[in-house]
A and B are shown apart, each in its own frame.
Chain A
Amino acid sequence: AQKITQTQPGMFVQEKEAVTLDCTYDTSDPSYGLFWYKQPSSGEMIFLIYQGSYDQQNATEGRYSLNFQKARKSANLVISASQLGDSAMYFCAMREGRGLTGGGNKLTFGTGTQLKVEL
């Protein structure tokens, strides 16, 4: 079974509108962290936002917020007031607590969602 599922290969949104990018995850580990990255066409993966499994509140970073629904195992990214520069691939990733042993920080990525912001 896939650990991270992003079911929207492509999304369109009008400038200044809000958009939600879906992410569901699968883990039996009670300790985990969820990350969202943005990848413009230039290739660099840019860290956007983090949510821990024990965090009581949804994470927010500027125009980015994470709609964390633990029981549903979903961690959707919400981008408010979309801008043309938000057009990019967006990846959801997870780090499981059991990955903390043995060194290194092992992230599992989804297949991504291509977001296109239109005028």
Chain B
Amino acid sequence: ETGVTQTPRHLVMGMTNKKSLKCEQHLGHNAMYWYKQSAKKPLELMFVYSLEERVENNSVPSRFSPECPNSSHLFLHLHTLQPEDSALYLCASSQEGAGMLRDTQYFGPGTRLTVL
């Protein structure tokens, strides 16, 4: 299943670096999401884009900057990160229907980020 792809799969960066995570979905969906998964914590929703507009920003620090140029692509730009930002970053997509509860999110394999 390669419906949602993420690159790179692994990233090591210093606190002063600038890097970007990329997500691409091949499912024809109209909504995309960034999640952060830290050890022993529930998945944290970071950003939601619906129809290429950001509809959710869950108090994420400004050192994380999302970009959604079209419905198939989502980026997460990273700058001056902290060691506690080390985590698995997951991208997901879904097709938002007319208020359907069962709209399912499909996830990519994630980017394992380590901040030194």
Residues of A within 8 A of B (CB): 4, 31-33, 35, 37, 42-47, 50, 52-53, 91, 95, 97, 100, 102-112
Q: Which residues of A contact B108 (CB under 8 A)?
A: 44
Residues of B within 8 A of A (CB): 1, 31, 33, 40-43, 45, 48-51, 53, 55-56, 88, 90, 92, 94, 96, 99-110, 112
Q: Among B40, B42, B53, find the residue whose CB has the most chain A CB atoms closer than 10 A.
A: B42
Contact assessment for A103 and B96 in the assembled complex, using a CB-CB cutoff below 8 Å: yes
Q: Which of A4, A42, A107, A111 contacts B41 (CB 8 A)?
A: A111
Q: Which residues of B contact A47 (CB under 8 A)?
A: 104-107
Known A103-B48, A103-B53, A105-B31; judge A110-B42 contact (CB<8 A). yes
Q: Which residues of B contact A31 (CB under 8 A)?
A: 101
Q: Which residues of A contact B56 (CB under 8 A)?
A: 104, 106
Contact assessment for B109 and A33 in the assembled complex, using a CB-CB cutoff below 8 Å: no
From B32, which residue of chain A is reached at the shortest CB distance?
A104
Contact assessment for A104 and B31 in the assembled complex, using a CB-CB cutoff below 8 Å: yes
Contact assessment for A103 and B51 in the assembled complex, using a CB-CB cutoff below 8 Å: yes
From B110, which residue of chain A is reached at the shortest CB distance?
A43
- Alpha-carbon distance between A45 and B96 when the two chains are bound, in angstroms: 19
Q: Which residues of A contact B51 (CB under 8 A)?
A: 103
Q: Which residues of B contact A102 (CB under 8 A)?
A: 55
Q: Among A45, A52, A105, A109, find the residue whose CB has the most chain B CB atoms closer than 10 A.
A: A105
Known A103-B53, A104-B31; judge A42-B105 contact (CB<8 A). no
